[in-house]
Amino acid sequence: MTSKLQNYSGLHASTNKFQLHQKARKQDTVSKSKMKAYNDKKLKAKTSSLKSGDVVLLKWNRSRKSDSLFDPNPLKVVKVNGSMITVERNGSLLVRNSSFMKPFILQKEDINNEIFKDILFGDEVNLEEGEVSLI
């Protein structure tokens, strides 16, 4: 009697189930890494460069077209958990996705400006001369 099913010689009855399982897991890992690489490339995924202690600007909802995209008052990053970032300003904590944050870069001529020092750090300020960014 002939069968229309193919005779698959890759799986013999004497083959150990553990070896088959290991082979399947290895192939699954390879396939998942290929899919991840493809999708990261396609979606242009990148990791967040923000870390605890950084100073950021927060994206806000504009009420008028002429309003800025970001809140002009900087916030300090307290905790980073993947893309979930906790920031603090005046004792209040906010949790937002990293896509709503932008690193705050202080211009060189504004480093010694007392207004920026008070907004960013309060009384504990240790800025070195010539430091361009606070991130």
pLDDT tens for 102-129 read: 998 877 766 666 656 655 555 443 444 4
Q: Which residues of the chain have pLDDT under 70?
A: 1, 6-15, 109-135
| 73 shares a domain with 29 | no
Indicate whether 1 belongs to any domain. no
Indicate whether 132 belongs to any domain. no
Helices (H) and strands (E) in the chain, counts: 2, 5
Question: Which residue intervals of the chain are DSSP H helices?
Answer: 17-43, 114-121
The burial class, CB within 10 Å (0-12 / 13-18 / 19+), for 86 is middle
| 111 shares a domain with 68 | yes
Is residue 76 within 8 A of residue 122, CB to CB? The reply is no
Query: For position 11, what pLDDT does the model report?
Result: 56
Listed in sequence order, the residues at least 6 apart from 119 whose beta carbon sits closer than 8 Å to its beta carbon are: 73, 74
| 71 shares a domain with 29 | no
Q: How many domains does the chain have?
A: 2
Is residue 98 within 8 A of residue 48, CB to CB? The reply is yes
pTM: 0.58
CA–CA gap between residue 133 and residue 105 (Å, rounded): 5
| 42 shares a domain with 59 | no
| 74 shares a domain with 42 | no
